[in-house]
């Protein structure tokens, strides 16, 4: 029997080649809307999913599907409970992107700290000496606040050590010490926002974290501090962040994720000079995309071969 795998949004060739070599029929979808996914997945045995939404209605309309394999770490676009109720595994690829996202985090921290985009643009406009009144800042001795200390947070902490930064960590699941990280300081959430010169988010989007950062947190931050979000847009109250940026409550922000993606061109964030915006690029490297595609494909092969997946995020009921 040839199992069929639906891929609503195309992936790196490495993932498709793995499935084809294993004898699977691969269908790259033509759209991510509900009707198209249901139509093209009606006889699929697995779905390899990027960013499109798979809710209960879609899952109930795909009677043969045994696994939804997420291409990435987040799984907030899948109805996890519905999948469990229907006996469908949901997996992710937790080993695929941590180093990549950590690298991007520090690239953007440095871009903000050194004022690179601003002075580069002014130079293009002919103002070579704009730099004299718009200096950057050193990272050495500064406090980096990491909110969330999973794989990515740990990688960011390691990189911060190379810049001789003091690392503050808040994570409700982390104790007063972490093996392998003798130089970090575990603090409470309020203290992190108060002390940090740079706050970077590395949290999943859950019912508890959605809209959990807003006016209160920005009011605690130093006026000289930067706010960095490469996690999920819905964790942050965007109107309250915009207000904090407009009122210069904080020095600036770097945002790679948004409550609505793509970000509408009339969005007020585009009007702010003290914010750097990037189009969800934290894991967007050739190497990382290949790992995500391959790891998701490997999970599909495990499940359709009768094995348990290596990286499940739910427990199917049947």
Kindly give, in sequence order, each residue whose CB lies less than 8 Å from that of residue 54, ignoring residues fewer than 6 positions away: 37, 47, 68, 77, 78, 79
The answer, yes or no, to whether residue 231 has pLDDT greater than 70, is yes
Of 170-179, 270-279, 289-298, the poorest mean pLDDT is in: 170-179
Check whether 1 has a pLDDT greater than 80: no
- Is the pLDDT score of 307 beyond 70? yes
The tokens describing 54, both together, are 């798979």
Inform me whether the pLDDT recorded for 176 exceeds 80. Answer: no
Whether 86 and 60 have beta carbons less than 8 Å apart is answered as yes
* Cβ pair 249, 224 in contact under 8 A: no
Q: Which of 151, 189, 267, 280 is catalytic?
A: 280
CA–CA distances in Å: residue 217 to residues 85, 128, 192, 211, 254: 38, 37, 10, 11, 16
Residue 297: the pLDDT is 98
* pLDDT number for residue 223: 98
Q: Choosing from 21, 60, 261, 287, which is the catalytic residue?
A: 261
Out of 1-10, 15-24, 236-245, which region has the weakest mean confidence (pLDDT)? 1-10
* pLDDT bracket for residue 183 (50, 70, 90): confident
pLDDT of residue 102: 97
Assigned token pair, 177: 């010490």
Beta-bridged to residue 164, according to DSSP, are none
For the residues 194-204, what does the mean pLDDT come to?
Answer: 97
Spot the catalytic one: 50, 71, 202, 232: 232
pLDDT band at 175 (very low <50, low <70, confident <90, very high): confident
Q: Identify whether 124 is a catalytic site residue.
A: no
Q: How far is it, in rounded angstroms, from Cα 276 to Cα 121? A: 13
- What is the average per-residue pLDDT within 3-30? 98
Whole-number Å distance between alpha carbons of 128 and 199: 31
- Under the banding of pLDDT at 50, 70 and 90, the label for residue 211 is very high
DSSP helix/strand/coil, 98: helix
Is 232 considered catalytic here?
Answer: yes
The stretch 89-105 carries a mean pLDDT of 97
Q: Report percent pLDDT > 70 for the chain.
A: 99
Tell me what pLDDT residue 182 has.
87
Please state, rounded to an integer, the average pLDDT across all residues of the chain. 96
Beginning with the edge strand found earlier in the chain, give each strand of the sheet holding 185-186 in spatial order.
185-186, 166-170, 143-147, 198-201, 226-229, 252-255, 275-277
Inter-CA distances, 203 with 146, 178, 229, 284, Å? 10, 18, 9, 18
Would you call 302 a catalytic residue per the annotation?
Answer: no
Report the pLDDT value the prediction gives residue 240, as an integer from 0 to 100: 98
Which pLDDT does position 178 carry in this prediction?
85
């Amino acid at each position: 029997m040839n199992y069929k795998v639906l891929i609503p949004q195309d992936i790196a060739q490495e993932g498709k080649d793995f499935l084809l070599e294993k004898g699977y029929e691969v269908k790259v979808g033509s759209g991510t809307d509900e009707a198209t996914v249901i139509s093209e997945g009606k006889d699929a045995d697995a779905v390899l999913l990027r960013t499109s939404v798979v809710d209960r209605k879609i899952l109930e309309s795909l009677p043969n599907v045994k696994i939804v394999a997420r291409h990435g770490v987040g799984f907030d676009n899948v109805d996890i409970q519905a999948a469990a109720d229907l006996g469908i595994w949901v997996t992710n690829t937790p080993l695929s992107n941590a180093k990549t996202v950590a690298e991007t985090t520090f690239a953007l921290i440095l871009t903000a700290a050194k004022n690179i985009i601003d002075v580069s643009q002014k130079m293009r406009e002919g103002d070579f000496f704009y730099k004299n009144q718009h200096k950057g800042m050193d990272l050495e001795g500064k406090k980096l606040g990491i909110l969330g200390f999973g794989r990515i947070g740990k990688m960011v902490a390691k990189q911060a050590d190379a810049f001789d930064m003091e690392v503050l960590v808040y994570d409700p699941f982390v104790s007063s010490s972490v093996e392998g990280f003798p130089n970090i300081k575990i603090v409470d959430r309020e203290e992190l926002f108060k002390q940090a010169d740079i706050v970077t988010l590395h949290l999943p989007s859950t019912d508890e974290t959605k809209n959990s950062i807003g006016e209160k947190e920005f009011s605690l931050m130093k006026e000289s501090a930067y706010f960095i979000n490469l996690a999920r847009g819905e964790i942050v109250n965007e109107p309250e962040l915009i207000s904090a940026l407009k009122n210069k409550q904080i020095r600036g922000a770097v945002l790679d994720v948004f409550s609505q993606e793509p970000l509408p061109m009339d969005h007020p964030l585009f009007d702010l000079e003290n914010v750097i915006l990037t189009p969800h690029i934290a894991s967007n490297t050739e190497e990382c995309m290949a790992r995500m595609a391959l790891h998701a494909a490997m999970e599909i092969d495990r499940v359709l071969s009768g094995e348990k997946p290596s990286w499940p995020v739910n427990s199917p009921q049947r």
